[in-house]
Amino acid sequence: MLPREQTELFEKQFLNENACLSVDSKGRKEPCEPCPLRTCFQRDRDRILHCNSFRRLKHKTQVYLSPAGDHYRTRLTHTLEVSQIARTISRALRLNEDLTEAIALGHDLGHTPFGHAGERALNELSPDGFHHYEQSLRVVDILEKDGKGLDLTEEVRDGILKHTNMIADTKEGYVVRFADVIAYINHDIDDSVRAGIMTEEDIPKNITKVLGGSKSERITTLVTSLIKGGAESLHMDDEVSDAYTALHRFMFDFVYTNPKCKSEEVKAKDMIAKLYDYYVHHIEKLPAFYMNLAYQFGIDRAICDYISGMTDGFAIETFKNLFIPLGWTKY
């Protein structure tokens, strides 16, 4: 029996009845020979892990733009934390951990430079709007591998698309949605404490009484509550859910709209807007790959593809090259 077949047999024997089995996958748009070693979901995980868009996440903002320090989260470290939390939940519920991991690793591939500030900028500029979860699917379907895409299974594609505000078709996709919010609320607290925006003691006592007074305690409480709810329902108990909602409201008021935290966002949005406007009027300046996309999908979509794929540093360097006279850089 091949290693892949052994894993598929294990899934049938030991996974929860609500789990998505590898052998039951709806498959890919372009069928291919099964791998002797890996299931289809393990194969998807590896395709994501080795793609260019995944590597670029290490140079994309999570919350804080250009922070002074090496310990702030980037979009890549956020993705890894989501993957870890999601795998813990799936393993405890005996769901398909490989499917969960693939969705988690791919969920933010379409995110812009400068975090949600960049996303909001493109959403305001594009006539069709821009949402990172839709762009993540576009990355894996079209943009990766020089336009060939990664050809992922339908279950992974569905989980990537629906990780923000839709209900995924699989329980594994729904787990990633929970893991995403658990991860970002807690690492944003951690980064905000490091930045001097807040302290742990600023969090209201009615919240810490339920969730705990540290990142580890809060994650444990949230994950444990979700696991206790079971794979069928996948929900937290009311007390924990209410405390999480209160924590999110606190973070929105205390951090996410804090002028000190968001002081650079206006500059980032202006930079994105100027880049967008430049390429609208100078479409011929796009790289050849994106010129071809413009012919296929329209100018706006090609520009959004190009800008959203930039890292923070590449966007800044491109802006300098286009708008800053070379001699000025000496001063």
Give ∠ CA 103-107-111 in degrees, rounded to 5: 165
Compute the distance between CA of residue 86 and CA of residue 109 in angstroms, rounded to an integer: 17
Residue 23's contacts (CB-CB under 8 Å, 6 or more residues apart) are: 8, 11, 12
pTM more than 0.75: yes
Residue 325 has pLDDT above 90, yes or no: no
**Greater confidence, 62 or 33?**
33
Condensed to tens digits (0 to 9), the pLDDT of residues 172-191 reads 999 999 999 999 999 999 98
CA atoms within 13 A on the CB side of 98: 22
Average pLDDT score over residue span 14-39: 96
Condensed to tens digits (0 to 9), the pLDDT of residues 43-52 reads 999 999 999 9
Q: Where are the alpha helices (DSSP H) in 57-114?
A: 75-93, 97-106
Q: Give the burial class of 254: count Cβ atoms within 10 A of its Cβ; 0-12 exposed, 13-18 middle, 19 or more buried.
A: middle
What domains appear along the chain, each with residue ranges and CATH number? 3-256 (1.10.3210.10), 265-330 (no CATH)
Compute the distance between CA of residue 88 and CA of residue 184 in angstroms, rounded to an integer: 16
Q: Output the pLDDT for position 66.
A: 56
Condensed to tens digits (0 to 9), the pLDDT of residues 80-125 reads 999 999 999 999 999 999 999 999 999 999 999 998 899 999 999 9
Q: Percent of the chain having pLDDT more than 70? A: 95
**Residue showing tokens 């505000």:** 165
Compute the distance between CA of residue 274 and CA of residue 267 in angstroms, rounded to an integer: 11
Q: Output the pLDDT for position 243.
A: 98
Q: What DSSP designation does 34 have?
A: P
Q: What DSSP designation does 251 have?
A: H
Give the tokens for residue 55: 């590597």
3-class SS of residue 16: coil
